[in-house]
């Protein structure tokens, strides 16, 4: 496995140093994440779920309708949606009328409400999660949340400002090239190997998982 410095050089050779630097993203600070209202986490979660497998631009254009239809994603109201609410929502032309994804809003509101009761707020829980076990956070989202497995949970965390890596096709190709995994990491063993590799590159570089993820992607794309 190459050092982070070596992978940085590969990215610079492909893109040029200025483009690599410009392409980096920074995670939010712990305090900024903790200050996020939980209803905005539900909104981000919902947006990622509806964009998954769908045209992102369509969801973006309809987003004001989503905010109105789901009462600004108020956690209490969304967690208590009843059958008549679902009947109304699946006919609401302001949103994408996808029944299982609409149901996920209610289920994820209940999930975030539970986390808030356990930790003070869902945002504080995310802010305090150890970066060196990011894979564990993805596993938790998949287990306790709804439709938050795969890249959906990863994008939710990235858009929420959590220090994160996204296992995009390019990142996976770099991980394979470095001998970290032989294929897309789905097993617990492979996912642990990915976390260990990112932790090592983080120690070598002092950079965030978010930055490292972008550099790995640019070393391929």
List pLDDT tens digits, range 149-166. 999 999 999 999 999 999
Q: Are residues 71 and 111 in the same domain?
A: yes
Domains identified in the chain, total number: 2
Residues 37, 8, single domain; the answer is no
Q: Is the pLDDT of residue 208 over 90?
A: yes
Query: Based on the domain organization, do 53 and 140 belong to the same domain?
Result: yes
> Containing domain of residue 178, as a range?
4-27+165-218
Are 92 and 9 in the same domain? no
Q: 118 pLDDT exceeds 90?
A: yes
Q: What is the pTM of this model?
A: 0.95
Mean pLDDT of the residues in the chain: 97
Model pLDDT for residues 11-28, shown as the tens digit of each residue = 999 999 999 999 999 999
Residues 104 and 10 in one domain: no
57: domain CATH number is 1.10.340.30
Percent above pLDDT 70 for the chain: 100
Judged on CB neighbours under 10 Å (0-12, 13-18, 19+), 203 is exposed
Does 221 score more than 90 pLDDT?
no
190 pLDDT higher than 90:
yes
Mean pLDDT of 173-177: 98
Query: What's the angle, vertex CA 60, arms to CA 77 and CA 99, rounded to 5?
Result: 50
Same domain, yes or no: 10 and 82 = no
Q: With pLDDT > 90 as the criterion, what percentage of the chain qualifies?
A: 100
Q: Same structural domain for residues 13 and 74?
A: no
């Amino acid at each position: 496995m190459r050092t982070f410095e070596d992978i940085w050089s590969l990215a610079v050779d492909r893109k040029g140093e200025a483009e690599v630097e410009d392409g980096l993203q920074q995670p939010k600070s712990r305090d900024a994440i903790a200050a996020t209202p939980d209803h905005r986490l539900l909104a981000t979660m919902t947006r990622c779920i509806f964009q998954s497998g769908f045209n992102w631009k369509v969801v973006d254009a309809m987003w004001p309708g989503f905010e109105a239809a789901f009462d600004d994603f108020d956690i209490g109201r969304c967690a208590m949606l009843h059958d008549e609410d679902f009947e109304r929502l699946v006919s609401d032309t302001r949103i994408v009328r996808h029944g299982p994804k609409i149901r996920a809003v209610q289920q994820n509101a209940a999930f975030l409400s539970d986390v808030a009761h356990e930790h003070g707020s869902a945002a504080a829980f995310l802010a305090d999660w150890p970066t060196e076990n990011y894979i564990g956070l993805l596993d938790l989202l998949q287990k306790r949340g709804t439709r938050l497995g795969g890249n959906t949970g990863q994008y939710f965390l990235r858009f929420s400002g959590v220090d994160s890596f996204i296992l995009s096709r390019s990142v996976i190709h770099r991980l394979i090239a470095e001998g970290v995994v032989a294929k897309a990491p789905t097993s617990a063993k492979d996912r642990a190997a990915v976390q260990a590799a990112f932790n090592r590159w983080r120690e070598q570089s002092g950079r965030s998982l978010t930055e490292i993820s972008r550099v790995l992607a640019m070393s391929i794309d």
